[in-house]
Structure 1
Amino acid sequence: MTVANEPRIVGLRVGRRRDLSVAASPRPPVSWLVEAPAAWEATRAELRIDGGTTVAARPYGILEDWPFAPLRAGAAHRLEARVIGVDGTASAWSEPCEIRAGFSSGTWAAPFLHLAGPRRTAQPFLARREFSVADTVVAAELQVATHGVHHARLNGVEVDDAVLSPGWTAYQHRLPLHLTDVTALVRAGATNTLAVEVAGGWYTEAYGFGETAERFYGDQPAVAPLLRLRHRDGHVEEIRPDDRWRLSGDGELVSSGIYAGDEIDLRRRPHGWEAAGFDDAAWETPALSEPGRQPEVIDAEPVRRIRPLPVAATPESDDPECVLLDFGQNLVGRVRFRVSGPAGTRVVLRHAEVLEGGRLSTRPLRAAAATDTFVLDGAADTVCEPRFTFHGFRYVEVTGYPGELDPADFTAVVLHTDLRRTGWFSCSDERLTRLHENIVWSFAGNALALPTDCPQRDERLGWTGDAQVFAPTAASLFDADAFFASWLEDVAAEQRARGGRVPTVVPQTLGRLGETMAAGWGDAVTVIPTVLHERFGDQRVLERMTDAMRAWVDAVADAAGPERLWERGFQYGDWLDPTSARPDKAKTDPGLIATAYFARSARLTADALARSDDASAAGRYAALAAEVRDAFVASYVTPRGRLASDAPTAYALALEFDLLPVSLRSAAAERLAFLLRAGGYRMATGFLGTPLVLDALLSNGQEWAAERLLLQTMCPSWLYPLSQGATTMWERWDAVRPDGSLHPSGMTSLNHYALGSVGDVLHRRVGGLACAEPGWAQVRIQPWFVSALEHADVAHDTPRGRASVSWERDADIRGQIRVRAQVPHGVTAIVDLGDRAPFPVGAGTHTWDATTPVRTLAPIGVDSDLALIADTPDACAVVSRSIAGHSPEMAAEFDAYIRWVPGSRLRDELAAVSAPDALVTCIDGALAALTH
């Protein structure tokens, strides 16, 4: 960020979304940034609407309350702002923010258009309407509600660049309304044509697994387009859905499905149907139906085409009839390609994340066909791209392509909700930098209309547990406030329909499976609003969700009973604990996990109520949190700090959720480190333990254990997937086995962000940049000087401006480190470099020198203590790889039973698996080389 020589306001906007200033309500929040010299101090801001009324505001605008009279539906205004200093100086007025009030007044009365006699389930259709526009029209807005997804054109021109509009919400509770300013596309004084292509999308998709899959919302798509034309004299004319529209089910889109893909027959294209003068006499009069509920504007960015990716390679295929394309990156989107060929030629594209034996591996897709089919019409240089689907893939199999395929004619089009990137991290270890980018790719791909678990198989659902554990990392990477705030509206709506119980997926389309009341999943309703308040200063969403937070905690209290222990009913627990053969049978007792989350959510609810000035209710929930904490200690904690479930996740939860007496924290952290070392510092946590384990170590004096865990390369670990070519995060730690084979389970996704929750630790700990007060009013600069790293860099566009921290070791004196930081205007920072007491600094650029202890490594060999070997970087991996090189079966046996604990020699453990002398000697030499 360039610091201004003079104070100024930039980034003025209304609402939460960043791409447009569309007011989704009569009183939208207002935000802006102040850029000024570090020494200049702001005292207030002033806002001015339409060059007239001026009001005072706080100087730093983070989702501030609307200060003017409520907006009227459809109104347009110009908003400006300036900032005033304590010395009385004022900045210039900002660039005006053009506001459009994008909400409806009164009751939505536009009916839905749909085919009167569809010939098949989920049949796509085309809808068109010609109309005359007077030359007095000065503005036009298109409002579209859809049971499904749509793509609109006005006079043959796309109305906007959104795709899969209007996205997916819990339709039975919240029907989205997509708004577009189409003033520039209207032809005043002429005949105009509004054309809409409609498919079922999420509305007609079948949800569930195998034979249990069924449609949840409806069998057929429908659309309600309403064009509002504002005339010079102020009156509004509406082009509404009625019997003057004409529909056709015989367009080029033959079929479409989120899971299945699109089938497009270009020979069926009705040329000219989007323009005036097209003969639609053979088209049918639409059936009309009432909307059933009031559509509402969604205050979040839409899905867009984000970027193109070229083909990276063309792997050899064992099928001469197909060509394989490798885009070099597991991504979410679809493929656009150019082709020429005879009419009737069928070009088929199948998608997958991985290859097996020279072919696409479609087994992980389960029932999702993930196939796009194009039937050519004989035209030359035709550009083909699916309309209403998306896939999770890296590889594409092309069959039926006419002539020789040129990879340059194929492009992957990346799709996701158009979130603004706000966080960056890099360091001297390229593996950690790549891990971070894998995390970015996974969240971006699964941030498609709502936060999903995976983008490729017959699922792609809003699992609440995944979103809960990943929300802090999402907030470190993207401006995700609008995205999550919108989804929380669906969470609250689904919860209200269940008397306080939060389903495990939102929107809830999974029948009984989705109705499970599970700890760590339902707690999304308390955790995510808290994250949005802390990271984005979003007090409004916290206040709006307080009732939902209370309802969830009350429901859990009923389930737990007077003992305050939530031990009844099914729990997902520490899902996909790698030490367990079954995903739901983790080593940590599910009752311990559920009770820990019960205590945390009660505390978060009390804190939210306190911020809302409801002291009485805050006191009740604080007392409840204390009761649950006491019950947790009495039932699960021994007097010496051991937990009833002697597993890493149990200790991580107890430490990070502050459930232990201060006197026992050190013992619990030591035990956590002991257990991790005993496992060779391989991951031993699932979805709920993984986000917490590094913080639990680092906050309690176990930095070396944290470093060994973070930099582990053996399976399971954060870095292991990189050795298998991973470009996104995996659902399972061993989704691809060390021998290159896919995990045999039917639940294997190579793009799942939950285990990427370590991304927030990379920013806060390794980079050393953390939010210390809501909205980044204060930052904490506290780098973790990982001994194996030479440097690290982190930057974040906070709601108050760009903040950054970088640190680098002295090339000659390893214990000397230079730290640099940028603190935004109006922000204070607390700096903790470890070698002195923490100290405050103000805005500006800062540089400090720090000293850190240098760890020396003792020589090791096969006669060394097992704990000493485990504490040596890469030693466990060297032993395992050496044994595997001799015998994979012996390595599997050794890795399964070895416990790297003090008091035993490696030579004795090797003898237990009958390792030959030559192998022992080889391992001894390899270990000795690590510390030379």
Structure 2
Amino acid sequence: MNPLGTGSRDPLLSWVVRSSGTGERQASREVEVARDADFTDLLWASGPQPGQEPNLRYGGAPLPSRTRAWWRVRVQGAAGETSLWSEPATFETGLLDPGEWSASWITHPDWAGDTDADALPLLAGEFRSGGPVAAARLYVAGLGICVPSLNGAKVTAAVLEPPYSDFARTIDYSTYDVTALLQDGPNVLGLRLGTGIAHVTAPPDRYTKFAATIARPRALAQLEILGEDGSIQRFVSDGTWRTALGPTRRSHWYGGEDYDARLVVADWDRPRGNRSDWAAAAVVPWEVELAARAAPPIQVVETITPVAMTNPAPGICVVDLGVNIAGWPLLDLTADAGHEIRIVPGEVLDGDGRVAQQEIGTPVESVYTTTAGQQSWHPEFMYHGFRFLELHGLPAGSGPEVCSGLVLRAGNESTGRFSCSNEVLDATHRIIDRAVQGNMFSVLTDCPHREKLGWLEETHLLFGVVSNGYDVQAYYRDLVRRMAEAQLDSGMVPDISPEFVVFDGGFRDDPNWGGAIVLAPWQLYRTYGDVATLRTYYPAMQRYLAYLQGKADGDLLDHGLGDWYSLEEKPPRAAVATWGYGQVAAAMAGIADVLGESGDADDHRKLLLRIRAAFHERFFDGADGYGRGQAINALALDLDAVPDELRTAVTARLAETISAAGDHLMVGEVSLPAVLRALSSGGHDELIYRVAARTDWPSYGYQFVHGATALTEAWDGPTTGASQNHFMLGAIDDWFVRRLAGIDQAADSVGYRHAVIRPAVVGDLTEASASIGTPYGPLASAWTRDDSSLRLEVDVPVGSTALVQVPLPDPSWSVEAAPESTVTKDGFHQIGSGHWSFRAAPSRSAR
């Protein structure tokens, strides 16, 4: 990556070392940062720095705004050999000081007051450019959605910008390289504005989750042109810009978007366009901190073509994309002017083959009115969750080719994979991944058709599921920042972040939701080695823990939502809340250790011991462990509240309750990860496999065999009216990677510096494989077996080591391993980087 407009004066520079050998590691690294690609004008030279971390923070003089820098790295191996310099990479700082913004927030006069206009604004600014240009940068922020163009061309593939934030406090701006779009002479910078989630109304004819206004649409733009002679031209949004209402007649973040193509203004954002009758833009001040965009933006990542088209009623077509997505319906057709095409998106169909929207109660639809000729259109300022599109008013003879689906998600790099020989498990992985994608927007939402809000429990309960599949380092740093922005003066962190709407009771205050302010940064550190986020938000974490302590009664908490969406009789709310309290206390102890806050760490450990003791005293009932339910025993085990002498019995009790339920999980989303961890650590992976492979209700397979193409909100899958694109029950996917493929890290490891490969060969599986991204590079494990042998292939990135435990289907089998590996006293093979092969087979004496 070559980031543009970074907000850091001392960026962290990272790399991956590749080698075809085995046992390689980086002993030291050396970085150079320069103003030029030839590295003759150095900003900083680190000199050799000992360390195995594949990163180094820039250590030169603090970088000013607009700094364009080239950097390269070389490393020294353990034997003293030095690599060549890497190919140069680049980065550029953004506008780092508020005083460097000279642009004004502007909008159409009809949107400048407290009422809505009849359509959404177009803004155009005219300027002239002359002389040889070295570079041109466009800095843009908006409320709520802003789409920039220059001379009629899009300046970015990013969509639905800017991302969610507390718009009254912080708005992210983006930086774009527009050098190639400039023309010598007249130019026009265009901005199309939408309401986004910053202005949500409650129209009677469209669905809305909530109604609230932070601000009506407006934008801020600053274009800077650097001449080859060193001169700078600056062109900014202000009252000299011209504006008109455009062809988007209405856009509602939940309810849909209406567009009349007959009203398109030809060449409105090109120099040849006629804007003489446009109004002057209104300047609308907005006092807010501008933050440089740090995480990957939302992008179109896939185009889905229909698999079927039906005609359930005259004049109505229903298109089936074959998969549930979050994104845009795309029309591409030839028509006469004036056809009004209604697009009704939905996740399921009713008994008549029509799109069903009963779950939300009021309509969601987008309406497109055609112009004459060939044309294409999709919504631009909102998005839908859908598999089916019900189309009204298509021109006669139209087929399924007129409509497709554009899949949107945050552009986090896909770094993981999983597959195995069981189709039910493979299908479960696919639908969980599709649900993760469907909710990976500027925050992690919990369904794209109804909520579009950042409910926080999934950010930490499902961290492994998300990070196993995608590189979310920068993404999660942004999520944590938004949590901190949402934190109240009392220390409470609301259940949603940003808190666009205030809910009541547990829907606003639950330790398993608000605890994400502590647990997400801790998981970010364990997975990627990110200490900076811990340090930055440690005060916010301390305030949150103090808030929980103030609500506790005898080291127990009793507030929140309990085990949300449980099928069994829910465990006591106090048990679920106190488990969350304990998770926060445990993470805070670890975080304080990392930051060198030893006094705090001791205090947090003492608190954790008290919480465990209070949990045991309150909920242990002797004969039945901690109760008859699945969740309560799992929570006790996962909290480590169970005395050592009782742990085996309580684990057995948990397994028995699941077996007695026909190998079905009956728990809700909060306790589900704890159930899987408790079973696996207690030696019950075989039971988890039986659970995962079932197809009767309730199970993952039940969802799949009944037509789910993304994980659903409820175990019922498509047979109920709940959301059909909801990843909250997806914890099993982490077990697929960590136990079936066997990829994990040691308890004292950070960033997979010391990996552990320990596959579980269970059931009738004949193969399983997975790969995840780590700071050092890809880490992979793949095994296959038959009656005569088991083969395990392991790939360890340079800089990491691994302990490998080769699974033995039978105690009489033995392991053949590369002679370079070292066998530890507990039977693990210790290896370094590279590709390694292991084979297990019946020992010669057994043959």
Above 0.5 in TM-score? yes
- Match of residue 290 from structure 1: 285
- Match of residue 827 from structure 1: 800
- Match of residue 837 from structure 2: 847
The alignment partner of 1:229 has SS state of strand
Query: Displacement, 1:498?
Result: 3.6
- Match of residue 813 from structure 2: none
Q: Is the 8 A contact 1:683 1:709 kept in 2?
A: yes
> Matched residues in 2 for 1:28 and 1:245: separation?
36
- Match of residue 819 from structure 2: none
**Superposition map of 1:763-842 within 5 A:** 763-772=737-746, 773-810=749-786, 812-813=787-788, 816-833=789-806, 837-842=827-832
**Superposition map of 1:220-619 within 5 A:** 220-249=216-245, 251-314=246-309, 316-364=310-358, 366=360, 369-378=363-372, 380-457=373-450, 459-495=451-487, 497-513=488-504, 516-561=508-553, 563-567=554-558, 569=559, 571-579=560-568, 586-619=569-602
Query: Displacement, 1:681?
Result: 1.4
> Any idea what the Cα deviations from partners look like across 1:700-727, whole Å, max 9, x if unmatched?
1223322222222211112110110111
- Match of residue 814 from structure 2: none
Matched, 1:102 2:97: no
Q: Which amino acid aligns with 2:280?
A: T
> Any idea what the Cα deviations from partners look like across 1:95-152, whole Å, max 9, x if unmatched?
1112111233233443211122247358410000110112154221111111111111
* 1:80 counterpart (72, 77, 85): 72
The alignment partner of 1:541 has SS state of helix
Q: Is the 8 A contact 2:416 2:770 kept in 1?
A: yes
Distance 1:57-1:165 versus aligned 2 partners, 3 A rule: farther
Query: Displacement, 1:697?
Result: 0.9
Q: Which amino acid aligns with 2:594?
A: R
Distance 1:79-1:343 versus aligned 2 partners, 3 A rule: same
* 2:136 counterpart (132, 137, 140): 140
> Matched residues in 2 for 1:623 and 1:38: separation?
44
* 2:194 counterpart (196, 199, 206): 199
Distance 1:390-1:411 versus aligned 2 partners, 3 A rule: same
> Any idea what the Cα deviations from partners look like across 1:179-211, whole Å, max 9, x if unmatched?
1111121124x1111011111111112489999
- Match of residue 155 from structure 2: 159
Distance 1:423-1:58 versus aligned 2 partners, 3 A rule: farther
Q: Which amino acid aligns with 2:187?
A: N
Normalized per residue, the structure richer in strand is 2
Q: Which amino acid aligns with 2:499?
A: Q
Query: Displacement, 1:65?
Result: 2.1
- Match of residue 822 from structure 2: none
> Matched residues in 1 for 2:708 and 2:2: separation?
32
Query: Displacement, 1:661?
Result: 1.6
- Match of residue 890 from structure 1: none
> Matched residues in 2 for 1:781 and 1:109: separation?
55
Matched, 1:47 2:41: no
- Match of residue 711 from structure 2: 729
Query: Displacement, 1:427?
Result: 0.4
Matched, 1:761 2:754: no
> Matched residues in 1 for 2:222 and 2:434: separation?
37
Distance 1:607-1:847 versus aligned 2 partners, 3 A rule: same
Q: Is the 8 A contact 2:28 2:49 kept in 1?
A: yes
TM-score by length of 2: 0.92
Query: Displacement, 1:641?
Result: 7.0
Q: Is the 8 A contact 2:350 2:356 kept in 1?
A: no
> Matched residues in 1 for 2:637 and 2:643: separation?
10
Q: Is the 8 A contact 1:138 1:231 kept in 2?
A: yes
Q: Is the 8 A contact 1:326 1:394 kept in 2?
A: yes
> Matched residues in 2 for 1:41 and 1:483: separation?
28
* Mean Cα deviation higher: 214-223 or 297-306: 214-223
TM-score by length of 1: 0.84
Q: Is the 8 A contact 1:121 1:220 kept in 2?
A: no
Q: Is the 8 A contact 1:365 1:456 kept in 2?
A: no
The alignment partner of 1:774 has SS state of coil
Query: Displacement, 1:22?
Result: 4.5
Q: Is the 8 A contact 1:640 1:667 kept in 2?
A: no
Q: Is the 8 A contact 2:207 2:364 kept in 1?
A: no
RMSD across aligned positions (CA): 2.2
> Matched residues in 1 for 2:474 and 2:797: separation?
23
Q: Is the 8 A contact 2:344 2:391 kept in 1?
A: yes
Query: Displacement, 1:851?
Result: 6.5
Q: Which amino acid aligns with 2:14?
A: S
Q: Which runs of 5+ in 2 are unaligned?
A: 809-825
> Any idea what the Cα deviations from partners look like across 1:645-697, whole Å, max 9, x if unmatched?
43111111121222222111111101101111111112211011112212211
- Match of residue 912 from structure 1: none
Q: Is the 8 A contact 1:438 1:727 kept in 2?
A: yes
> Matched residues in 2 for 1:671 and 1:85: separation?
51
Distance 1:39-1:236 versus aligned 2 partners, 3 A rule: same
The alignment partner of 1:475 has SS state of helix
- Match of residue 816 from structure 2: none
> Matched residues in 1 for 2:157 and 2:392: separation?
30
> Matched residues in 1 for 2:599 and 2:119: separation?
55
* Mean Cα deviation higher: 605-614 or 128-137: 128-137
> Matched residues in 2 for 1:797 and 1:211: separation?
40
Q: Is the 8 A contact 1:144 1:177 kept in 2?
A: yes
The alignment partner of 1:340 has SS state of strand
> Any idea what the Cα deviations from partners look like across 1:158-182, whole Å, max 9, x if unmatched?
1111111112212123211121111
Q: Is the 8 A contact 1:298 1:486 kept in 2?
A: no
> Matched residues in 1 for 2:528 and 2:264: separation?
47
> Matched residues in 2 for 1:19 and 1:610: separation?
34
Q: Which amino acid aligns with 1:230?
A: L
Between the two structures, name the one with larger relative contact order (CA 8 Å, sep ≥ 6). Answer: 2
* Mean Cα deviation higher: 402-411 or 632-641: 632-641
> Matched residues in 2 for 1:427 and 1:40: separation?
30
